[in-house]
Structure 1
Amino acid sequence: MNRLDRARRQVVMGLLCAGLCMAMPALADGLDALTQFMKQARSGRAQFSQSVTSPSKAGQPPRVKTSSGSFEFQRPGKFRFDYRKPFVQTLVADGQTLWLHDVDLNQVTARKQAQVLGSTPAALLTAASDLESLKTDFVFKTEPDRDGLQWVSATPKAAEGQIRTVMVGLRATDKGPELAVMDVQDSLGQRSVLTFTAFELNPVLAAQAFVFRAPPGVDVIRP
């Protein structure tokens, strides 16, 4: 490659880098990224993997359970988790009721959504149209960037709740911030980490995705 070709290549690479920087607007911090995500994301779809780590007891090492599946949400107040491994479970919020179908137990649990989702991680994704409305229930704080993500912590204001804190990691893309990780610490010392891949922003989702009907013969429990 001669000097002229190298110079041309440097110009082309420079233009490509400049175009990429223009396509991916800089976000000041994790709170800025979460604010933009909340404004942009009317719906979403992704694959997820989840690890749940229980605190160690009597000198035993902590236990870690893993699972995976697919996730969809649509504002306001609708989401669906389809767990495929290691057990088949479905969790559906239809805007009024939160349904949990455990196939192995042949059982469905139905709870009023408003009573169980107020200060939970799901509220960060589905309940509110913007970040300001969530500040009634959560205190938000920007955390240092790491692992190529921007981070923000959300701490419930209700001290008696089950959730101690939620860490949200967002990835910058040419379409805006993308949900990558939710790291949840509960009041019993258990840690649950949800990692999202193949995230789709604002897909058109079928209305039936958020409609749940208990299969025939399944016990339905309403606590």
Structure 2
Amino acid sequence: MKKALILLVCVFAAGLTLAQSDNDNAIDNKAQDILSELRQDLSALQAEFKQYELSQDGHADDKNSGTVWMQAPDFFKWHYKEPFEQLIVADGEQVWVYDEDLQQVTVKPQNNNLNPIYVIINEELSTRYYHIAYEGEQQDLSWVKLTPKETSDEVKSVMLGIKNKQLHRIHVNNQLDQTLVFEFSDLKRNPTLSKDTFQFTPPEGVDVVEAIE
């Protein structure tokens, strides 16, 4: 769980340190059409998720599950419920990671220009930072591949599995060719979210650690 969570924070919280490429702005029209349909009238998401690392022999390791909420422009919350309680909250200014087992909260500035909700709903930012390509149909899903235009220390590529204008899977492949998989179910488009959904106050008595940038 710890290794998978660290990668998740790197991808969804710390962001990708990228520079815009002026030489290659080609867009795969098929991929763009799929993403445009996904983004249509979308401002927020809620879903149940399963997360695991996919081994080279196709075995699912380090399984976790919980609920995720995302809202434009830059809010998200991942609530891990099984096998351990853990929370990642981005409030628009900071990212909070609460490890209930360790009784520790790690906080860092939310200074990234790219997080998952941008990929889903913001065409300008996703095309600025990623090469986007249609990868065909597999497992009853349409797959769109996102490759950083500049090298990322963590992310080699991101695969989005989409069906019926809904995001069902995310595969994050790192530079060691390890793959972190997210499977989504019970998806809700534009749910009504309370104002405190993306607020976090460290519980009394826990250690609060500021992450070093």
Name the CA distance, whole Å, in 1 between partners of 2:168 and 2:59: 25
Aligned to 2:74: 77
Are 1:35 and 2:33 matched, yes or no?
no
1:187 maps to which of 166, 175, 198: 175
Classify the secondary structure of the residue corresponding to 2:167.
strand
Task: Give runs of ≥4 in structure 1 deviating > 4 Å.
Answer: 126-129
Structure with bigger gyration radius: 1
State how many pairs are aligned.
183
Aligned with 2:166: secondary structure? Answer: strand
Task: Percent identity, please.
Answer: 30
1:152 is matched by which residue type in structure 2?
A: V
From 157, 162, 166, the equivalent of 2:154 is 162
Opposite residue 46 of structure 1, the aligned amino acid is A
Alpha-carbon separation, structure 2, partners of 1:186 and 1:147: 22
Contact in 1 for aligned 2:118/2:125 (Cα 8 Å): no
1:104 aligned partner: 101
CA shift, 1:41, in A, is 1.6
CA–CA separation in structure 2 for the residues paired with 1:68 and 1:136: 32
TM-score, reference length from structure 2? 0.79
The match for 2:48 is 47
Corresponding letter in the other structure for 2:209: I
State the match for 2:12 in structure 1.
none
| Amino acid paired to 1:162 | E
Instruction: Let me know the Cα RMSD of the aligned residues.
Output: 2.2
| Structure 1 gaps, min length 5 | 1-27
**Structure 2: distance between partners of 1:54 and 1:149:** 21
Q: Greater helix share, 1 or 2? A: 1
CA distance in 2, matches of 1:34, 1:71: 20
Contact conserved, 2:35 with 2:120, CA < 8 A, in 1? no
Contact 2:156 2:173 in 1 (8 A): yes
- Alpha-carbon distance between aligned partners in 2 of 1:210 and 1:105, rounded to the nearest angstrom: 22
Give distance in 2, aligned partners of 1:65 and 1:152: 25
Question: Paired residue for 2:144?
Answer: 152
Q: Which structure 2 residue ranges, 5 or more long, are not aligned?
A: 1-28
Q: What is the SS of the residue equivalent to 2:196?
A: helix
